[in-house]
Every structure is written in C-alpha cells, then in structure tokens.
C-alpha cells in the first residue's frame, strides 16, 4: 500500500459539542472546506486533534466517520501516540481493519526512550501493519529526536514512507535529502517555518492553521512548487503572525478561535484544556482579526480541487 505524501495534509481539530461529545456536524463543515480548497490528505487525532483526551472508541468513531465522509477523495491518516508498543500495534491493526489509508506515528509517550528503544518501537508497528507510515519527528514537544542514523535503520521497512519534520531546524530538510535522496517524503510540520522548508525541498505540509485558512495554505504550497516564490511570499508574510499561533502550548485553543473567526469550527475543547480568557484572549483575537482585515486576494488557480 502507498500514499502520495505530497501537498497539504491538515492536522484537523476534533470538534466537540457543548456537552463534550464528538460534534460530527461541525467537523464535516471543516472537512468539506479543506477538500474544496484542494488539500491532499487528512490527519486525524494528532496533537491538534486532542489525541491525549480521546478514548479509543472516539478515535475509531472519528476514523470511521471521516472515511465515510471523505469517500476516497483524499487519504485519511490516523495518528498513533501511545505509551506502549503493544497498544501502538493494537491501534495500527484496528485502524487498518477499519480502512485507514495511513498512519502518523509518534515515539513512545511518557517515557524517554533511548535511540534503540525508539527504533524498536517504530519497527514493531511497521512489522504489524501494511499501512503506509509517516514518522513524526518533534523533539521540541516530545523530547525524542529521530536522528538520521535512526531513519537509516528504519529505511528497510517499505511502509515507513514519510517524515513529519518538526525539529524546527530548517536545515534538517536538506540533511535528510542529502542522506536519503527521495527514499522518504518530507512534510514540514511547523507552520511558521513552512515556506522555508518547502523552498528547501519538503514534499508536503502537515499544517495547523489550514484548519481556519485552507485556501491560503494550499495557495502558498502550490505557488512555491510552481516556483512563483514572490507571490507565495506575499501571502506567507501576511499569514505569519497567525501561523505563529501553531507553536504555543495552547495551539488547540488558539486555532479553534481562528476556526470560529472564519466560520469553520467551534471553540469547544476538552478538559483539562479551558477556553482562553482575559488579556490573552484579546491578544489572540487581535492577531486573527488584524489578519482578516487585510486578507489577501489569492492568485487564480492557486487553490481548489
């Protein structure tokens, strides 16, 4: 099995009702907007999707619903962020059975695994599923860096196909290409470094603020790949203050606020997260509203199915 790991893959938020249940109605509105903008895949249950507070039942319900709603228009990728190898394998096997198109795989949670332990963890999952896998490399937030030598060890698994590059070191894109050529697809995972990473050769963008601004995100990616750098840069410079909301511990709340501002979501989060209040709320709203006040016209053909 394979996925074309290129283009924009939204890391979508999980929508909740006021009663703290999955809100599929609000979710579908957002997903349809993503598809209309021309995204290339959907990533479910990641950090932005509040994975740590979803039950297994909810994760699989979300996966089943999304597969039905998307109906093959783009690949649907489920995130795996588990504390044990056994549980990670169980999730991978169940996701494959339900019909997921691929997996995004984090290192072990809540344990600072050594390099050998981390490689063994990834290897065990890869050996127990046929699904394509994207390794999520985010040592800033998850404390474990997947090094070039570790990727070398993982390169023997054909279904480990892509890397979500979130080290926040743009040069790592070049290091990966120099070492592995096109063996792994590279998708940037840090919104405020996205343009820099794509210019350096990243194949895709696992994006966050795309949840509120799908057309602008797709436009930036496509324009860069068409070598229309000046046009992309104009949009990117406008977008950057909003994109920086993606690199904050409260990115879920911030991005959900942006979704509300563009009519693509609700602010409902699951405890222990709480809604943003006071001066912090005013600051975030100002960033979003300042951007909306001068939202740029997008070049013809830079977004859409």
For 298, list phi and psi in degrees, rounded to 5.
-100, 140
For 92, list phi and psi in degrees, rounded to 5.
-60, -45
Q: How many helices (H) and strands (E) does the chain have?
A: 12, 8
Which residue in 141, 160, 144, 143 sits closest to 152, CA to CA?
A: 160
Report CA 138 to chain centroid distance, whole Å. Answer: 12
Q: How far apart are CA 69 and CA 63, in angstroms?
A: 10
Instruction: Count how many domains the chain has.
Output: 1
**Is 1 within the bounds of a domain?**
no
Average pLDDT, the chain: 97
**Is 298 within the bounds of a domain?**
no
Strands (E), the chain: 7-10, 42-44, 76-80, 102-105, 133-137, 160-165, 185-188, 204-207
User: Is residue 2 predicted with pLDDT exceeding 90?
Assistant: no
User: Is residue 118 predicted with pLDDT exceeding 80?
Assistant: yes
**Is 235 within the bounds of a domain?**
yes
Q: Where are the alpha helices (DSSP H) in 105-213?
A: 115-127, 139-142, 148-154, 171-180, 194-199
Q: Look at the block and give the residue holding tokens 């939204």.
A: 10
Tell me whether strands 42-44 and 7-10 are parallel, antiparallel or unpaired: unpaired
Read off the pLDDT of residues 200-257 as tens digits, 9 standing for 90 and up.
Answer: 999 999 999 999 999 999 999 999 999 999 999 999 999 999 999 999 999 999 999 9
Query: If DSSP codes are grouped into helix, strand and coil, which group holds residue 161?
Result: strand
Read off the pLDDT of residues 166-175 as tens digits, 9 standing for 90 and up.
Answer: 999 999 999 9
Q: What is the separation, in whole angstroms, between the first and last Cα of the chain?
A: 24
Q: Are 273 and 34 in contact (CB under 8 A)?
A: no
Provide the token pair at 156.
């023997």
Instruction: Give the per-residue pLDDT at 20.
Output: 98
User: Is residue 133 predicted with pLDDT exceeding 90?
Assistant: yes
Read off the pLDDT of residues 57-94 as tens digits, 9 standing for 90 and up.
Answer: 999 999 999 999 999 999 999 999 999 999 999 999 99
- Classify residue 136 as exposed, middle or buried by CB count within 10 Å of its CB (0-12, 13-18, 19+): buried
Beta bridge partners, 135, equal 105, 163
**Is 301 within the bounds of a domain?**
no
**Is 2 within the bounds of a domain?**
no
Q: How far apart are CA 153 and CA 157, in angstroms?
A: 9
Q: Look at the block and give the residue holding tokens 């996205």.
A: 194
User: Is residue 1 predicted with pLDDT exceeding 80?
Assistant: no
Instruction: Give the per-residue pLDDT at 270.
Output: 98
**Is 48 within the bounds of a domain?**
yes
Containing structural domain, residue 224: 7-293
**Is 121 within the bounds of a domain?**
yes
Q: How far apart are CA 133 and CA 12, in angstroms?
A: 18
Mean pLDDT of 297-305: 96
Query: If DSSP codes are grouped into helix, strand and coil, which group holds residue 168?
Result: coil
Half-sphere exposure of 162 (CA within 13 A, CB side): 28
Instruction: Give the per-residue pLDDT at 82.
Output: 97
Mean pLDDT of 31-55: 97
Question: Is residue 24 very low, low, confident or very high in pLDDT (cuts 50, 70, 90)?
Answer: very high
> Using CA atoms in the order 111, 113, 117, 119, what is the torsion angle rounded to 10 degrees?
110
- The CATH number of whichever domain residue 258 belongs to comes to 3.20.20.70
* Residues shown for the chain: 305
């Amino acid at each position: 099995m394979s996925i074309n790991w290129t283009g924009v893959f939204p890391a979508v938020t999980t929508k909740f009702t006021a009663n703290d249940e999955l809100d599929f109605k609000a979710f579908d509105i957002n997903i349809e907007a993503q598809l209309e903008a021309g995204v290339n895949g959907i990533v479910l249950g990641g950090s932005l999707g509040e994975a740590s507070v979803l039950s297994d039942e909810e994760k699989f319900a979300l996966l089943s619903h999304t597969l039905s709603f998307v109906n093959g228009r783009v690949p649907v990728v489920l995130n795996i962020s588990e504390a044990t190898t056994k549980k990670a394998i169980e999730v991978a096997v169940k996701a494959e059975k339900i019909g997921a198109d691929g997996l995004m795989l984090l290192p072990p949670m809540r344990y600072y695994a050594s390099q050998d332990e981390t490689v063994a963890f990834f290897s065990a999952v890869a050996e127990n599923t046929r699904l394509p896998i994207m390794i999520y490399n985010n040592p800033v937030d998850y404390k474990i860096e997947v090094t070039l030598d570790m990727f070398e060890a993982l390169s023997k698994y054909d279904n480990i196909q892509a890397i979500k590059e979130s080290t926040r070191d743009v040069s790592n894109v070049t290091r990966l290409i120099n070492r592995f050529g096109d063996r792994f697809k590279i998708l940037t995972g840090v919104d405020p470094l996205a343009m820099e990473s794509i210019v350096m050769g990243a194949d895709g963008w696992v994006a966050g603020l795309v949840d509120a601004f799908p057309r602008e995100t797709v436009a930036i990616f496509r324009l860069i790949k068409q070598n229309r750098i000046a046009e992309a840069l104009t949009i990117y410079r406008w977008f950057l203050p909003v994109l920086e909301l993606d690199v904050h511990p409260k990115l879920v709340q911030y991005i959900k606020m942006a979704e509300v501002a563009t009519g693509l979501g609700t602010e409902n989060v699951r405890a222990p997260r709480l809604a943003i209040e006071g001066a912090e709320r005013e600051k975030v709203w100002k960033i979003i509203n300042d951007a909306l006040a001068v939202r740029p016209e997008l070049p013809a053909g830079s977004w859409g199915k």
